[in-house]
Structure 1
Amino acid sequence: MFSLTSGRVTDSAVRTRGGWGMIPGGFVLPRLLRRPARLAARVWSGEVALPSFAMATLSVALIGSFSAYGTVVGGHLPAVVQAVTARTGFAIDEIRVSGNHETSEIDIFDRVGLDGWTSLVGFDPEEARERIASLPWVESVSVRKVYPATLEVKVVEKAPFALWQQGSRLSVVEQSGEIIAPLAGSRHLDLPLIVGAGAPEHAVSFVAMVAGYPQLATRVRGYVRVSERRWDLRLDNGMTINLPETGEERALADLVALDARDELLSRDVESIDMRFSDRLVVKLSPDAATAREATLKERLGKQYRPAGENI
Structure 2
Amino acid sequence: MAVAAPADKRFRRAQVKPARKRKGLLLRRWRAAAVVVVIGLALYTGRRIAAVVTELEIFDIEHINVRGNHRLSTGEVLALVDGLRGRSILAIDLEEWRRQLLNSPWVADVSLRRTLPASVEVTILERAPLGIGRINGALYLVDERGKVIDEYGPNYADLDLPIIDGLSGRSGAADTSGGTPAAGDQHSDIYRAMLARRLIDALRGSMMAGLISQIDVSDAQNAVVLLEDDPTRIRLGHERFVERLESYFELAPALREQVPVMDYVDLRFDERVYVRPAQKKTTNQKGISNNEAARRPISPRLQRATPKRSDGRRGA
TM-score range, shorter chain: 0.5 to 0.7
**Which region of structure 1 is more displaced relative to structure 2, 197-206 or 96-105?**
197-206
In structure 1, what is the equivalent of residue 129 of structure 2?
160
In structure 2, what is the equivalent of residue 17 of structure 1?
none
Measured on the aligned residues, the alpha-carbon RMSD in Å equals 4.4
1:131 aligns with 2:131: no
The verdict on how the C-alpha distance between 1:139 and 1:208 changes in structure 2, with shifts beyond 3 A counting, is: closer
Measure the CA separation in 2 of the matches of 1:255 and 1:232. Answer: 13
Residues 124-181 of structure 1: per-residue CA shift (max 9 Å, x gap) = 3333223223322222222222222222212222222222323324333333x24151
Unaligned runs of 5+ in 1: 1-26, 32-67, 298-303
Work out which of the residue numbers 220, 224, 229 in structure 2 matches 1:228: 220
Q: Is the 8 A contact 1:158 1:180 kept in 2?
A: no
Q: CA deviation at 1:239?
A: 0.9
Q: CA deviation at 1:98?
A: 0.8
Measure the CA separation in 2 of the matches of 1:154 and 1:231. Answer: 36
The verdict on how the C-alpha distance between 1:306 and 1:170 changes in structure 2, with shifts beyond 3 A counting, is: same
Residues 63-109 of structure 1: per-residue CA shift (max 9 Å, x gap) = xxxxx9xxx9xxxx999876x423xx332222111111122333322
1:97 aligns with 2:66: yes
The verdict on how the C-alpha distance between 1:156 and 1:268 changes in structure 2, with shifts beyond 3 A counting, is: same
Point out the structure with max Rg over C-alpha.
1
**Superposition TM-score, scaled by structure 1 size:** 0.56
In structure 1, what is the equivalent of residue 250 of structure 2?
257
In structure 1, what is the equivalent of residue 196 of structure 2?
203
Measure the CA separation in 1 of the matches of 2:204 and 2:246. Answer: 12
Runs of 4+ in 1 over 3 A off after TM superposition: 77-82, 208-213, 226-229, 244-251, 261-265, 275-280
SS at match of 1:114: helix
SS at match of 1:148: coil
Measure the CA separation in 2 of the matches of 1:309 and 1:137. Answer: 48
1:179 aligns with 2:158: no
Q: Is the 8 A contact 2:63 2:85 kept in 1?
A: no
In structure 1, what is the equivalent of residue 162 of structure 2?
192
Measure the CA separation in 2 of the matches of 1:115 and 1:244. Answer: 51
The verdict on how the C-alpha distance between 1:163 and 1:90 changes in structure 2, with shifts beyond 3 A counting, is: same
Residues 5-37 of structure 1: per-residue CA shift (max 9 Å, x gap) = xxxxxxxxxxxxxxxxxxxxxx99x89xxxxxx
In structure 2, what is the equivalent of residue 170 of structure 1?
139
In structure 2, what is the equivalent of residue 281 of structure 1?
275
Q: Is the 8 A contact 2:60 2:89 kept in 1?
A: yes
Q: CA deviation at 1:233?
A: 1.6
Q: Percent same amino acid among aligned pairs? A: 23
Q: Is the 8 A contact 1:164 1:200 kept in 2?
A: no
**Superposition TM-score, scaled by structure 2 size:** 0.55
Residues 241-277 of structure 1: per-residue CA shift (max 9 Å, x gap) = 2426477645423212124x55959x96242423575
Q: Is the 8 A contact 1:81 1:122 kept in 2?
A: no
